[in-house]
Every structure is written in structure tokens, then in C-alpha cells.
Amino acid sequence: DQQVKQNSPSLSVQEGRISILNCDYTNSMFDYFLWYKKYPAEGPTFLISISSIKDKNEDGRFTVFLNKSAKHLSLHIVPSQPGDSAVYFCASDKLIFGTGTRLQVFP
């Protein structure tokens, strides 16, 4: 049972535009969620988190939205930059990871 799902394996966005990465989960008991970014040949690095009692958390160009009724969260990156090109993972508070979405930001 995949408790955290990322159904889009890849996303391509033009520089300056908004990138929206999606994540769905099945367990309502998760207390918070985290987003990690991974470059090739590097380990995942923490990006942003959101508590289950909030519906939005913002940090600079990165905003995470949580829709508890839909068991869905999304990461918005605006404006997108070429350096944002990486694989993005969402994860539960128990560090159950989704399968990742590869974001490519092109000039």
C-alpha cells in the first residue's frame, strides 16, 4: 500500500513560470508533511514542510498547500529557475516517501 503517492513522474516548466508538484496520501493520521529536493549524485535535501493543522506554508519562492479533505498537497515554485531542476519528493512525518517528480525548468 503506497501511503504517499506522486502520480506525475515528470514536469517541464519554462523559466519564470510556476511549477506545481502534486502529492496524495492515504493516512489521515500524518501530523505533517515534508518536501525534499534531490539533485543527481546527491542525497535528498529538506525543502519545506507543512503541519496538518495548517493549509499553507510559504518560504520564499516555495509554497506548500495542504487540502486535508482531499488528502492532497502541492508544492508551488514561483518563479521557477533552471537551478530548481531536480527530483522532488514529498514525504510523511514518518518519512514515507512518494516516488518523486522530476522537474525540468528550461530557459
Partner 1 sequence: DAGVTQSPTHLIKTRGQQVTLRCSPKSGHDTVSWYQQALGQGPQFIFQYYEEEERQRGNFPDRFSGHQFPNYSSELNVNALLLGDSALYLCASSLAARGSFGYTFGSGTRLTVV
Return residues touching partner 1 (CB under 8 A).
4, 6, 9, 32, 34, 41-46, 49, 89, 91, 93-100
95-87-17-92 Cα dihedral, nearest 10 degrees: -10
Q: Which is nearer to partner 1, 38 or 71 (CB)?
A: 38
Residue 1 identity (one-letter amino acid): D
Phi then psi dihedrals of residue 82, to 5 deg: -55, -35
Q: Which is nearer to partner 1, 11 or 96 (CB)?
A: 96
Residue 44 CB, shortest distance to partner 1, in Å, is 5
Residue 25 C-beta-side C-alpha neighbours within 13 Å: 28
Residue 80 CB, shortest distance to partner 1, in Å, is 22
Residue 96 CB, shortest distance to partner 1, in Å, is 7
Q: Which is nearer to partner 1, 41 or 53 (CB)?
A: 41
Rounded-to-integer distance, Cα 69 and Cα 7, Å: 18
